[in-house]
């Protein structure tokens, strides 16, 4: 299945100087790993019970037969792979899922079947990567979007591990930077058998950067099922907020919370019982957001403290993990965070699947095609300023007919843009067929 012309001992000599220097530096920094881990433990960025996984070690036993290794950076990438994981499990393939954040590990534990093995991706040192690959011996590697660790990729290629980039995305900010480092990025992208891109624009960028066999398959996030919600928790929240107009601000980032709090202060003059729910992208910001709310003269409540919104609560800070499905079901009006600041916007698909009318800021380049289709169809509205944010939210709170029309338009866009899962499975078919043959031979 692979072209082995650049494999083995010759590979190192063919690398650009940037990657050769990176490999030497990564090897030289191994003695500093304990200090790095200690610092990250203090910051809550590592699981103290699983730090050995960062060194390529594992307490889990490799299962018998082919193992499909899927790697994604964090929560968004891991969730994008959920439906794909189910399809692969239906073929009786064992799944190893790696990611780099504590929050993504918690999501895997909560949302994925217990037979899906989660490991923290090893630090990108040749020694740690070799340990990881020696232990797991994956049969196929699927890298999600753009989390491209050089030593991980180069070591996989050297072992003739079939590797595919899936749901590939190249942002408008990253593309010009990588063009200036063409030798480096092309040396990495050329190690993938095929690159499956989210959009035609992404495909053109990957091709321009040296990717081979680039195919546009669409965005897997469009095919992800709506997030679940605990029925008892939803019933309790609904009872506590019944009769109140509600807006949800999902996955907010620093710099946005102040604007949303100010919008609440403006809107409450028209909707006296308004409840704003802020769900920060990083839950550890909950206390600082509560401080902003208090300083503005409003009354907050924090979910992480076990508090529920009362009649006196102005802004509810939902600073917990894995409960967006709960809050999307609570309100028909959702502001998508990461879009008022230059983060690039968060994924609106889950909110739309649960019936939300979407408002977003101007910075949505992470999902440019999706937001463009939503805006042009009337399934979402853009707010460029504080004034327009208040105006858009106010109109949606005031007019159920407008909300319903937006919800129908948004659902239509999501349906039209779907199908990435089937196209991805079709592209992976030759690799999966080979693994099926191997399973049959092993069981004969």
Q: Is 91 exposed, middle or buried (0-12, 13-18, 19+ CB in 10 A)?
A: middle
Q: Which of 167, 173, 213, 171 is nearest to 189 (CA)?
A: 213
DSSP label of 338? S
Contact yes or no for 274/264 (Cβ under 8 A): yes
Rounded to whole angstroms, the maximal C-alpha distance in the chain is 73
Q: Is 365 exposed, middle or buried (0-12, 13-18, 19+ CB in 10 A)?
A: middle
Active site residue 77: yes
Q: How far apart are CA 317 and CA 308, in angstroms?
A: 10
* 381-385-388-390 Cα dihedral, nearest 10 degrees: 110
Q: How far apart are CA 280 and CA 100, in angstroms?
A: 19
Three-state DSSP string of 77-146:
HHHHCHHHHHHHHHCCCEEEEEECCHHHHHHHHHHCCCCCEEEECCCCCHHHHHHHHHHHCCCEEEEECC
Q: How far apart are CA 72 and CA 100, in angstroms?
A: 8
Q: How far apart are CA 399 and CA 403, in angstroms?
A: 7
**Choice among 46, 53, 77, 323 that is catalytic:** 77
282-291, long-range: CB < 8 A, 24+ apart = 282/103, 283/103, 283/319, 283/320, 283/321, 284/44, 284/319, 285/254, 285/257, 285/319, 286/317, 286/319, 287/319, 289/257, 289/317, 289/319, 290/317
Scanning the structure block, which residue is given the tokens 């779907």? 418
Backbone angles phi, psi at 165, to 5 degrees: -90, 120
Reading the block at residue 2, the tokens are: 């692979």
- What are the catalytic residues? 77
């Amino acid at each position: 299945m692979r072209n082995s012309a650049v494999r083995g001992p010759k590979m190192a000599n063919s690398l650009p100087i940037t990657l050769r220097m990176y490999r030497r530096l990564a090897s030289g920094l191994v003695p500093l790993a304990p200090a790095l881990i200690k610092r990250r433990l203090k910051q809550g960025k590592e699981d103290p019970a699983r730090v050995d996984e960062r060194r390529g070690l594992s307490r889990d036993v490799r299962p018998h037969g082919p193992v499909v290794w899927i790697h994604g950076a964090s929560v968004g990438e891991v969730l994008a792979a959920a439906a794909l994981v189910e399809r692969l499990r239906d073929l009786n393939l064992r799944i190893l899922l790696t990611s780099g954040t504590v929050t993504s590990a918690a999501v895997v534990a909560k949302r994925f079947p217990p037979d899906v093995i989660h490991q923290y991706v090893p630090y990108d040192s040749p020694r740690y990567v070799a340990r990881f690959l020696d232990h797991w011996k994956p049969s196929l590697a699927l890298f999600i979007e753009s989390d491209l660790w050089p030593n991980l990729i180069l070591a996989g290629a050297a072992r003739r591990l079939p590797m595919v980039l899936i749901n590939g995305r190249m942002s408008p900010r990253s593309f010009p930077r990588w063009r200036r480092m063409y030798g480096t990025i092309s040396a990495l992208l050329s190690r993938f058998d095929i690159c499956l891109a989210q959009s035609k624009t992404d495909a053109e960028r990957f091709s321009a950067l040296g990717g081979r066999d680039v195919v546009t398959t669409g965005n897997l996030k469009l095919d992800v099922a709506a997030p679940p919600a605990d029925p008892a928790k939803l019933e309790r929240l609904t009872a506590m907020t019944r009769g109140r107009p509600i807006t949800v601000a999902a996955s907010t980032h620093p710099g946005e919370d102040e604007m949303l709090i100010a919008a609440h202060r403006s809107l409450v003059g028209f909707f006296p019982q308004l409840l704003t729910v802020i769900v920060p992208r990083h839950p550890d910001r909950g206390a600082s957001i509560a401080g902003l709310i208090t300083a503005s003269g409003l009354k907050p409540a924090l979910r992480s403290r076990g508090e529920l919104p009362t009649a006196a609560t102005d802004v509810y800070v939902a600073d917990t993990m894995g409960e967006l499905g709960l809050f999307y079901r609570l309100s028909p009006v959702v502001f998508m965070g990461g879009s008022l600041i230059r983060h690039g916007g968060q994924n609106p698909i889950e909110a739309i699947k649960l019936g939300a009318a979407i408002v977003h800021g101007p910075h949505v380049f992470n999902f440019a095609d999706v937001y463009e289709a939503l805006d042009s169809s009337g399934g979402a509205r853009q707010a460029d300023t504080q004034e327009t944010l208040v105006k858009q939210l106010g109109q949606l709170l005031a007019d159920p007919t407008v909300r319903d029309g937006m919800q129908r338009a948004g659902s239509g866009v999501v349906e039209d843009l779907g199908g990435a899962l089937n196209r991805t499975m079709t592209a992976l078919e030759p690799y999966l067929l080979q693994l099926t043959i191997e399973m049959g031979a092993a069981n004969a």
